Amino acid sequence: MDRRIFTRQSILTTLGLGVIPRAQSSNQGEPNILNSITEEEVRTFLKEKLYTGQEVDHYFADKAFPFAKHSADFGWLLRDAYFKDGVNNSISVYHYEKPDGERLMSNYADLPCRINTYGNSFTQCHQVSDHETWQEVLAANLQEPVKNFGIGGWSVYQAYLRMLKEEKTDALQIHHFQ
């Protein structure tokens, strides 16, 4: 299959237009049905999926989502929240330290921290209330604090950027404690 045809078919499939069946081939072996979907149809399809200018403005003004706020460094951070998303429809309680967005700690929070966790919703402990996260269980067993910098939906790269920022800050704090 020609590279251009493959690319076009891949894009259309990704956009949700489905797998396009192979039609009668032209003289060059190119499926005619791929050429029947116009650029205007693709643009119309995409326009329905894009955010409006007002929605983008609300996002940057921190009015768009009740659970997240814009972060210039990482894309977004989470807000304090209560959601009915726990086991048996129980309410999960989420609190985040200001301004960093670190999940609230209870075990050994007054001690300097040597262990930080970074990642997505698994690290964040989505659907788990404060003080019940795996970081809090680990902290109780180790008898030292474990910070939780997980944010649902984050990529490895966002977690890596967060780690770079926090490790610089923590290195300065640990130096002051010694």
Q: Choose between 70 and 9: higher pLDDT.
A: 70
Residue 171 lies in a domain: yes
Pair 88, 121 in one domain: yes
Residues in contact with 118: Cβ distance below 8 Å, sequence separation at least 6, in sequence order: 149, 150, 159, 160, 162, 163, 166
Domain count, the chain: 2
- List the single range of 39-53, 135-149, 156-170 with lowest mean pLDDT: 39-53
Res. 10: pLDDT tops 80: no
Percent of the chain scoring above 90 in pLDDT = 47
Pair 40, 73 in one domain: no
Pair 33, 111 in one domain: no
Residue 54 lies in a domain: no
For residue range 40-77, list pLDDT tens digits in order.
888 888 888 888 899 889 888 888 888 888 888 998 99
Pair 45, 69 in one domain: no
Listed residue (22, 11, 78) closest to 46, CA to CA? 11
Residue 110 lies in a domain: yes
3-state secondary structure at position 78: strand
> Is there a contact between 158 and 151 (Cβ–Cβ < 8 Å)?
yes
Pair 94, 29 in one domain: no
Q: Is the peptide bond before 21 cis (omega within 30 degrees of 0)?
A: no
Structural domain including 14 reads 3-49
Pair 97, 165 in one domain: yes
Say which DSSP state 89 is in: G
How is the chain split among helix, strand and coil, in percent rounded to 5? 45, 15, 40
Pair 39, 111 in one domain: no
pLDDT recorded at residue 177: 45
Residue 59 lies in a domain: no
Pair 78, 23 in one domain: no
For tokens 């039609």, the residue is 23
CA distances from 6 to 28, 35, 41, 59, 162 (A): 15, 12, 19, 36, 37
